Amino acid sequence: MSPEVVTLSDSILFSLLAIALIVGCAWLLDASRGKDRVIFGTILIVMLLNYLYFRITKTLPDFEWSPYAIWPRFYLGFEVVVIFYTVLSIVFFFKRTDHSGAADASEALIAQHSRHPAVDVFICTYNEELSILERTILAAKAIDYSNFAVWILDDGRRDWLEDYCNEIGVRYLRRSDNVGAKGGNINNAVRRSAEETNAPFILILDADFAPQRGILKRTVGQFIDTEIGLIQTPQFYYNADPVQHNLLASKAWVDDQRIFFDVMQPSKDGWGAAFCVGTSCIVRRDALELIGGMPQETVTEDIHLTYRLMQKGLKTRWLNERLSVGLSAESLSGYITQRCRWCLGTIQVALLKDGPFLGRGYTLMQRLHYFHGLLFWFCRPFILLLMAAPLLFYFLGLPAILMEPEAFFLYALPMVAAMWTFHSWVSGRRSLPLFTEVSQMVSAIPITIALVHALFHPFGRPFKVTAKGEDRGRVEILYPIAATFFAIIVLTFIGMLNGPLLSTYNDLDGFSIAWGMVVMVYAFVSMLVCIELPRAPLEKLELSLAREAQIASGGKASRCMIDTISVDTARITMNEDSALSQMRLGDILIFAPFDNFDVAGQITSMDRANAGLSLAIVAVRDRRDDYEIRKGAEDIRRKMVQRMFSEMPEVMPARAFPILAIQGLMQRMFARPAVLIGDLEPYTLNGREAPRKFHKPRFFSPKVPLLQLGGGAVPPAAAE
């Protein structure tokens, strides 16, 4: 037991003062400045080390060969892993890069030359549906670059996909087997493309990641630095991940990967240790040839690729710009499978003879960064111990920590508050207590199992592709994990009644009650995540534009707000009552939801009270490429898909909104399922334009004065 001599009121006062100091640091310091990160980070490191010293010296029973003495030390061992990982993360946050200037220079360099360096665009696919694939393929065709070839690498060997590629004019490749999984697929494409295009640069895309138009102009010119072997851009998503979706937090909290991509990778890049994440990256062909091709020995060929490039003195540059949009795992099972594969692959690379631990050619900092990544996965078992600790105390009388309430307020609470505050501050308010931890808790059990299996049998397991485009039209329950969290809640509550709440009360009982209540809250929210809410089919995706524009009707131009748009419909709010009063069902309206893109829509419903219109898209014209009017349903659909996904605004939250997140959680907890499901608006993507500005777009070119629809004519917009 810790021999504190201060009173409880004094320790609470000290805790409040320490928390006030931490909040003051967050208020006064700027996370974008390196010096401020060092100051705040150093304060937190001192608090962590002070807590660790206290834990080691004051909270352990005398050693003996008994569960009472061994269990607290076992628990402390994993707590040390978490603290060491946290300290390393803080130190790495001291540095941060921003290569936007280099991207600007790349774009300027490309603009100076009419003939751009050739690029092969590899789209890797195995079993994805066309509804997912075509978004990537059509967006790739729309890349703003003069010299590239799109290759579809089909490891599923599907004839219908080959026919589709021939129809739209992209190259198609398949092989007779799936040796090496994704890495083997890319190596086959490298060999085959060398015979035809032999482009010096290769853009690698997963089947569900649509490139944005500027991705090549922003990256290719940076390879003028010959030390760069690969440029990696972050993954952004246009749908909520399972944790966001199932907690109704898709508009209130960032996705699970946002902190890693937006904060951790720029920091790793500052230390020269950023790594490839498998998609939306551009690699030099000669760099691949130098290392013997894409690695195939592990299930994470991406990070393995980076470390093989490091051995040759080449670096991975992290360009923290939104240059692709993709589909996040839609189901919790897919989400967990994906993370278990990353965990296994991280261990596999660590055990290879040419890996960062056993291989030659790595710097100490590169090895340390890989060790940091490995520690991330070894922190997961601690979550299970955290949930099990109260139960062991209630039923077996085995405390994990011998700590008085006074010591808790002196050492533990200020440290936890400081960690939450610092991570929210350094991440630009992307971190959110409870939600951030729950995203790790739901996968803690399978990842711990994967860790144990990987330690004994690291190789030989097949590559598991993350399922995308699944039927998510009904409630699904991940029973094994949900039942585990339910059991934790029930047993913790029974243990409280059986032990500290109805028995003799002491300091450890009070500490264990508070601990148990926290565990029950986290377990309950995690259980909610395991009860998956339905999602609408991908084909029903709507993009929320919230964009002011002009609309042409009856030979006049009026102002409107384009609320949402999909591949075949649009919703518009009129800004002028006089124009709305003259509109009727069946009228044809012309507007521009995107730059240099005209859409003709026919009014299918009207809400005059709210000045709202629903339109069916009947014709489009892309003035960016040509002035051809497309009226066929399939032509319209493909062109809309291309424009929506090649120039998609940021649709997911860029930071956390705590009040909105709590409101969603309360609704998720107490609303009846039928009401809850009925209120969902799945796959309506909320774009952000701030501030909103009215732009008067050019609707028509003098080359085409009228947009012809069938046998009739649509009145042109007002004079520009």
The candidate with the shortest Cα–Cα distance to 435, out of 258, 262, 650, 674, is: 258
pLDDT at 713 over 60: no
pLDDT band at 704 (very low <50, low <70, confident <90, very high): very low
Range name among 45-54, 162-171, 188-197, 543-552 with the lowest pLDDT average: 543-552
Number of domains making up the chain: 3
At residue 710, the pLDDT reads 36
pLDDT at 28 over 70: yes
Which of 119-123, 228-232, 699-703 comes out lowest in average pLDDT?
699-703
User: Which residues is 282 bridged to in the sheet?
Assistant: 203, 231
Look at the chain and count its residues: 720
**Domain co-membership, 437 together with 312:** no
pLDDT (0 to 100) of residue 652: 87
Same domain, 545 and 527: no
* 62 within a domain of the structure (yes/no): no
Q: Say if 233 falls within a structural domain.
A: yes
Domain membership flag for residue 476: yes
| Residue linked to tokens 């009401």 | 675
Q: Is the pLDDT of residue 295 over 90?
A: yes
Among the candidates 270, 298, 328, a domain finishes at: 328
Residue 576 pLDDT more than 90?
no
**Which of the residue ranges 215-224, 421-430, 546-555, 628-637 would you say has the lowest mean pLDDT?**
546-555
DSSP code of residue 463: P
Co-location of 205 and 284 in the same domain: yes
Model pLDDT, residue 579: 87
Same domain, 286 and 194: yes
Query: Rounded CA gap, 177 and 166, in Å?
Result: 22
User: Cis (ω within 30 of 0) for the bond into 117?
Assistant: no
Checking if the pLDDT of 177 tops 60, the result is: yes
Average pLDDT, the chain: 89
Do 282 and 179 share a structural domain? yes
Which range marks the domain in which residue 275 is found?
Answer: 99-328
197 in any annotated domain:
yes
Contact 332, 242 (CB under 8 A): yes
318 & 432 share domain: no
Note the pLDDT of residue 720.
29
pLDDT-derived band at 542, boundaries 50, 70, 90? confident
* Angle at 639 (CA atoms; ends 633, 643), nearest 5 degrees: 145
Does one domain contain both 523 and 546? Answer: no
144 and 232 both lie in a single domain: yes
- Among candidate residues 328, 363, 398, the one where a domain is terminated: 328
Instruction: Quickly count: other Cβ atoms within 10 Å of residue 361's Cβ.
Output: 13
Which residue, of 615, 631, 647, is where some domain finishes? 631
Of 89, 87, 94, 90, the closest CA to residue 32 belongs to 94
Residue 279 lies in a domain: yes
- Give percent of the chain above pLDDT 90: 76
Q: What is the pLDDT of residues 230-240, one digit of tens each?
A: 999 999 999 89
- Is the separation of the CB atoms in 234 and 258 below 8 Å? no
Residue 371 lies in a domain: no
For residues 383-399, average pLDDT: 93
Do 523 and 406 fall into the same domain?
Answer: yes
Same domain, 392 and 495: yes
Give the whole-angstrom CA distance, residue 668 versus residue 654: 22
| CATH number assigned to the domain comprising residue 280 | 3.90.550.10
Using CA atoms, how far apart are residues 649 and 301, in angstroms rounded to an integer?
30
Task: Quick: pLDDT tens for 421-472.
Answer: 999 999 999 999 999 999 999 999 999 999 999 988 888 766 666 666 666 6
Q: Give CA–CA dist 527/4, Å, rounded.
A: 38
CATH number at residue 545: 2.40.10
Backbone angles phi, psi at 2, to 5 degrees: -80, 125
Give domain status of residue 649, yes or no: no
pLDDT value for 505: 58
DSSP, residue by residue, 258-288? HHIIIIIHHHHHHTT-----SSSEEEEHHHH
- Write out the DSSP string of 681-699: -TTEEE---SS--------
Q: What is the pLDDT of residue 405?
A: 85
In the prediction, which pLDDT does 686 show?
55
What pLDDT is attached to residue 555?
Answer: 78
More confident residue, 516 or 706: 516
Residues marked active site are found at: 155, 302
Q: How would you label 619-640 residue by residue, b for 16+ Cβ within 10 Å and e otherwise? A: bbbbbeeeeebbbeeeebbbbb
Contacts 24+ apart (CB under 8 A), 672-677: 673/475, 676/533, 677/475, 677/533, 677/534
Q: Per-residue pLDDT for 674 more than 80?
A: no
Does residue 358 form part of some domain? no
Is a pLDDT exceeding 50 seen at residue 494?
yes
**585-608 residue pLDDT tens:** 999 999 999 999 999 999 999 998
pLDDT value for 717: 34
Instruction: Note whether 551 and 502 are same-domain residues.
Output: no
Average the pLDDT over 248-264 and give the result. Answer: 93
Beta strand pairing status for 201-206 and 119-125?
A: parallel
Nearest to 15 by CA among 47, 46, 37: 47
Residue 400 near residue 393 (C-beta atoms within 8 A): yes
Quick one: pLDDT at residue 420?
95
* Distance in angstroms (rounded) separating the CA atoms of residues 459 and 448: 17
Domain check: are 470 and 524 in the same one? yes
pTM (2 decimals)? 0.90
